[in-house]
Structure 1
Amino acid sequence: MDRLTSMAVFVKAAETGSFASAGAVLGLSSQMVGKHVRLLEERYGMKLISRTTRRQSLTEAGSAFYERCKSVLAEAEAMEALAANLQASPRGKLRVNAPVSFGAYCLVPMLTRYLQDYPGVEVELTLSDRIVDLIDEGYDAVIRIAPLPDSRLIARPLTPYRLIACASPGYLAAHGIPERPEDLAEHACLGFAYWGRPAAAAWEFVGPSGRHSVRVTSRLSINNGQALRIAALEGFGIIVQPCELLRDDLAAGRLVRVLSEYETPSLPVHILFSPDRRLTPKLRTFIDYVAAAFG
């Protein structure tokens, strides 16, 4: 006999007060109920139910065993529900938030493939460079590009975000090409102003001689990478932005990479979701899809 089935029969016998009542509920004979209980008693070597001609009652060991059986059966039921959930077809709406440039140039192409593979899912994507509150604002998942503070969210790491420095050919012809990070102090540098805080006063680079921290002057600071790109195309200064945002302009020669022997420190990227939010098929498949594309 299956042990979980015997536990379920024992629990019902304990709750109904007799083998006959348990059998009536479960569709078993009272003899079969008794057989399940005796099987457990023999297996674990202890008396579970004390019976007389008038009544039955749990022994001390039976009372403890009853509570444990309820926990085991609840866990088994939860596992069955989880298995069914994992096999279910993903469907419903996902609310996702991501930084503007990453979302537009990296995430959206992946999203179209994801939605083609999972036609039952809808995605509402919000692009913003401010730090949203995943739980309070009702997002299922958030992609964040920055060092993470301690939080109650689950964070799955993705490939770090690579940034490069570039400028238009016209700007470089008029102002010269910087050969070392320190040369940027004499150039117009276009700063990225994060939500709620000003543009960085210093740009970081790593090169053959180690790390360089250079103070830069930004007459123009913008909180949007696409807008900074346009300002650079207009010849207004040097920008440090993601490779994905600049790839087409670099290939066409509209922008030119500078300080190619130096790298800016890559930014950590994570997809975040709440440990309290049930990992539904739509959320699980989305997280796996993002991890496969960017992990």
Structure 2
Amino acid sequence: MQGLQPLIAFAQTARRGSFAAAARDLGGTPSTVAKSVARLEASLGVRLFHRTTRQVTLTPDGERLFRRCERVLSELDDLQADAAGTRATVGGTLRLDAPVTYGRKVLMPVLNALLRRHPELRLDLRLQDSYADLVRDGLDAAIRVGELQDSRLVARRFDAQHLLLVASPAYLAERGEPLRLDQLAGHGAIVFRLPSSGRQRPWQFRNGRQAVSLLPTPSVEVNDGEGIVAAAVLGLGLAQVPDNMVVDAIARGELVELLPRNRPPAMPISVVLPTSRLQPPRVRVLLEALEAMPGRATR
């Protein structure tokens, strides 16, 4: 493969869906763009597009390459602008993955302020509770909760969350309030079923200096955190969920925290990056915004 031109031709064709439109954007001819893409396919040994007389669409191999290509070309644009000393504003598309509820409740206000400070910045936010592959999915960064397992990623801890055991006042009036860990067995349990494995997530506690893990017999199983909170508000049992999911319900008196002295240690929240190399401006301003999050030091 010779230089970046085949990648540029491929990426623009993928964006526009035709060789003719890509050629107009690049100032060339459709045949030149098509030949450049064909040379790229030959050098990689894969077909990148399904071709018809009217349009071209990405193959699965083409989709994977396009996600990575978009990030690489965007970073090259940033580096060129930095080298020329012309970047006065932050632009491009920030591609970020985050857990659903944390993304909605905590991250979205931070990103809103970031976009207002940098009007030329665009956001591609993917909310999901399963882990994304940063390189395969072409992501700039991802938000991860808990201890990190993948040592290949570069991580910066910027926040933390607590797991709270909660129940509704109506449930407690009917069933009584557990005052010790050994009293939990007599209560209904709303448990989280992990989307990745289908297994029940254990409840975590601390008894003095000792960590305690319990697998309660579930009366309700839910694979969504907000669904667990809704079930708890309705009085279906006890639930253990992150504090950011229930802080509003507790403030409204819909839920009560139980056994606060048995809370487990706070879980770290980190932003992970695919590499420690020079980060483009859009990633640098994200990191700065996360470090400056309101209330971060008190969590």
- Report if aligned partners of 1:154, 1:273 keep a CA contact under 8 Å in 2: yes
Shift, 1:182, TM fit: 2.0
| Deviations 1:187-244 (CA, angstroms, capped at 9, x unpaired) | 1111122222245464221244743333311232222211111111111111111222
Aligned length: 217
SS in 1 for 2:261: coil
Question: Structure 1 residues 88 and 276 mapped into 2: Cα distance closer, same or farther (>3 Å)?
Answer: farther
What does residue range 73-88 of structure 1 map to in structure 2 within 5 Å? 88=88
For the residues of structure 2 that align with 1:281 and 1:266, how far apart are their CA atoms? 31
What does residue range 140-219 of structure 1 map to in structure 2 within 5 Å? 140-200=140-200, 202-208=202-208, 210-219=210-219
| Deviations 1:245-295 (CA, angstroms, capped at 9, x unpaired) | 211111111111111222123222110111177511111111221122147
1:238 match: 238
Larger Rg: 1
- Report if aligned partners of 1:204, 1:265 keep a CA contact under 8 Å in 2: no
2:108 match: 108
What does residue range 19-168 of structure 1 map to in structure 2 within 5 Å? 88-168=88-168
Question: Structure 1 residues 212 and 262 mapped into 2: Cα distance closer, same or farther (>3 Å)?
Answer: same
Question: Structure 1 residues 219 and 272 mapped into 2: Cα distance closer, same or farther (>3 Å)?
Answer: same
- Report if aligned partners of 1:95, 1:141 keep a CA contact under 8 Å in 2: yes
Question: Structure 1 residues 83 and 164 mapped into 2: Cα distance closer, same or farther (>3 Å)?
Answer: farther
SS in 1 for 2:196: coil
State the Cα RMSD in Å: 2.4
- Report if aligned partners of 1:163, 1:240 keep a CA contact under 8 Å in 2: yes
1:286 match: 286
Structure 1 portions without partners, runs of 5+: 1-78
Question: Structure 1 residues 268 and 199 mapped into 2: Cα distance closer, same or farther (>3 Å)?
Answer: farther
Using structure 1 for the length normalisation, give the TM-score. 0.67
- Report if aligned partners of 1:162, 1:243 keep a CA contact under 8 Å in 2: yes
- Alignment identity in percent? 32
Question: Structure 1 residues 223 and 201 mapped into 2: Cα distance closer, same or farther (>3 Å)?
Answer: closer
- Report if aligned partners of 2:171, 2:235 keep a CA contact under 8 Å in 1: yes
For the residues of structure 1 that align with 2:202 and 2:126, how far apart are their CA atoms? 30
1:37 match: none
Structure 2 portions without partners, runs of 5+: 1-78
| Deviations 1:136-192 (CA, angstroms, capped at 9, x unpaired) | 011111001122113322111122221211111111112111111222121111112
Using structure 2 for the length normalisation, give the TM-score. 0.66
Shift, 1:83, TM fit: 6.2
For the residues of structure 2 that align with 1:238 and 1:213, how far apart are their CA atoms? 16
Question: Structure 1 residues 185 and 198 mapped into 2: Cα distance closer, same or farther (>3 Å)?
Answer: farther
Give the residue type in structure 2 aligned to 1:171.
Y
- Report if aligned partners of 1:191, 1:199 keep a CA contact under 8 Å in 2: no
SS in 1 for 2:270: strand
Give the residue type in structure 2 aligned to 1:109.
P
Question: Structure 1 residues 187 and 201 mapped into 2: Cα distance closer, same or farther (>3 Å)?
Answer: farther
